[in-house]
Amino acid sequence: MTLKTAAALVIALLLAVPLASAGNLTITQPSANETVFAEMRDFYVYGVFPAPLERPGNIRITVLDADGIAVRTVASTVNESGITPAASVDMTLVPSKWGAILAPDAITEPGGIGNGSNKLLVTGTYYLALVQGGATKDMGSYTDLSGGALSPITRDLTAGTYTVVVEGLDGDLAGERVEKQVTFGRTHASLGLFRPEANRQNVIAWALCKNPSLRTYLDWFPGYFREGEAGYEIPERWQTNNAIEVANDLPGALIDTLPAAENDYLVYNVGNTSTTRQVELAAILRCGLVDVDGTTFTHYDVGEPSLAWTDRVTGEAISVNGSLTPYPADTRIVFTRAEITREPVCDNYYSTVAADSRKTVDTTPLCVTITQGDNLTFYGVTRPIATTLTGAGSAYRYSPDDQILTYAYENETLGRFTFTGCLVREFADGYLGYANYEFGHAFADTAAMPAGTWLLSVSGYTTAGALVEETNTTIELEVVPVPAAAAAAREAPGLWILAVVAVLGVGAALRRG
């Protein structure tokens, strides 16, 4: 199955698989493709009513184990209008929120914030409940009344199959019941940034291409929710749950342990402060999983989800789609393409919107031919390296301290060319993204290179200048003299030069997200 076919399939699946439903009562999330969780994970049970209800009423959620024993009970306490009153929710306990919205995590009545069984919010359009599995038991509400009285929870949601039962107790939902099975155990995730949309679809498509399909994270993590223009986040809860899905280091896990961790991680547009880097990749690094068999790093074979340019010889508009491919096991540096042009170039810069740029794109960049005076840019990716981490200010969020950041190209005749830094990618909306583990090395003085075929030895170095193992690569570069008849000919530059100039002027203001 191709990525394009898989991307179409995910839409079809979402349309074809019905929600668990009984009249007005539905289970929207956990969705059909996200019913397998890491052991001890918290999760939201979320249901959108088919139409706004005048008086929804109380709802009770019960989680049953394989023997039918209730291990979690969460119930609402609504007002005369059949919804959770705002007075029962202390939103001052929520670190970040915007718009008019309430969080079930912050429900205080009845029983106070420490009552884990009151964490079910009912509105006129949806319900949302927090079910705790053990991951955030230190947050102070790990209690339950399934045993008949509110007491501390002593049984985490470890490996096994459970049934989530949602019941309407009164109001418009009275007598309705719906259920869904969920499984706690090992997860194998497809990870990657969800920006731009094409990359998001490829992260999902990669998951669907596998047999069995990999896990993706499209449902709301507990502690993070949006409704329209409003939303909230509780980093201590959602980041903890996100991180353990990647690498479960919680004591008490039965089968979902670090040696069993499996993740496929797409290196593309990974910003400095992105969750993809500071939570998900950080979990892999923190737990020593960067070089184990269970971790697969992938990249686009041409460096981008798609490329578009104008052939500098024929003037023809050309486009190609990138395909995801795993990194080779024996190298940490992968060259994805070489671009050859007479237009100005910048180190570590790529515009996704410069379709009028006149150039040649060579997708076999380890053997490249240029003419003296051409501007040559090598694009590529690196694989993350083991490193220490620095806390980023909240639970399970860290910044990796090191990566391959300096590259040296060496040839006895041509000399040594050194490049430092990561790629900056410009998108159609004007966003400039700092892309860790990607590069674009521009050779803008090839007119001084003697004609001939030269072998460039490439090595990668850490931020401290230490040579990184498995980075040695050899590029065969053929430099052809300018034909006498064409020595004065130059292609007209494309309109994208204006964008390059703009980037140079605002480089200090890059958004590193």
Shared domain check, 234 and 349: no
Tell me, yes or no, whether 114 lies in a domain.
yes
Please say if the pLDDT value at position 498 is more than 70: no
Tell me which residue range forms the domain holding 489: 318-509
Residues 139 and 40 in one domain: yes
- What is the per-residue pLDDT across 420-461, written as a single tens digit (0 to 9) for each? 999 999 998 888 999 999 999 999 999 999 999 999 999 999
Q: Rounded mean pLDDT of 389-394? A: 97
pLDDT score recorded for residue 355: 83
Q: How much is the pLDDT for 429?
A: 84
pLDDT at 495: 46
Q: What does the alpha-carbon distance between residue 394 and residue 387 come to, in Å, rounded to a whole number?
A: 19
The share of the chain scoring above pLDDT 70, in percent, equals: 90
Q: Which of 53-62, 278-287, 361-370, 484-493 has the lowest mean pLDDT?
A: 484-493
- What number is the average pLDDT over the span 85-107? 98
My answer on whether 463 and 335 are in the same domain is yes
Q: How many structural domains compose the chain? A: 2
Q: Where are the beta strands (DSSP E) in 327-467?
A: 333-341, 349-351, 358-362, 367-371, 375-382, 389-391, 398-400, 406-411, 415-420, 423-426, 432-435, 438-443, 452-461
Domain of residue 355, CATH code: 2.60.40.10
pLDDT reported for residue 486:
60
Both 262 and 322 in one domain: the answer is: no
Q: Name residue 107's beta-bridge partners.
A: 89
In a shared domain, residues 476 and 363 = yes
Residue 442 maps to a domain: yes
**Tens-digit pLDDT profile for residues 211-266:** 999 999 999 999 999 999 999 999 999 999 999 999 999 999 999 999 999 999 99
Q: Domain for residue 144, yes or no?
A: yes
The CA distance from 436 to 430, in Å, is 19
> pLDDT band at residue 22, thresholds of 50, 70 and 90?
low
Whether 425 is in a domain gets the answer yes
pLDDT at position 487 is 57
Pairing mode, strands 358-362 and 306-311 = parallel
Residues 338 and 445 grouped into a single domain: yes
Q: What is the pTM of this model?
A: 0.90
Least confident stretch, 107-116, 261-270, 415-424, 481-490: 481-490
The model's pLDDT over 134-177, given as tens digits with 9 standing for 90+, comes to: 999 999 999 999 989 999 999 999 999 999 999 999 999 999 99
pLDDT of residue 431: 87
Indicate the residue type of 218: L
Q: Domain check: are 332 and 262 in the same one?
A: no
Is residue 301 situated within a structural domain?
no
* Amino acid 430: pLDDT: 86
Residues 259 and 343 in one domain: no
Residue where one domain finishes, among candidates 224, 245, 266: 266
Final residue of a structural domain among 232, 266, 300: 266
Residues 299/302/303/305 CA torsion (nearest 10 deg): -80
Q: What is the pLDDT of residue 505?
A: 45
User: Which range has the worst mean pLDDT, 96-110, 226-240, 272-286, 487-501?
Assistant: 487-501
Give residue 512's pLDDT. Answer: 37
Which tokens sit at 259?
């040696």
pLDDT at 21: 56
- Note whether 179 and 260 are same-domain residues: yes
**pLDDT higher than threshold 80 for residue 19:** no
- According to the model, what pLDDT value does residue 20 have? 59
Q: Last residue of a domain, which of 266, 286, 305?
A: 266
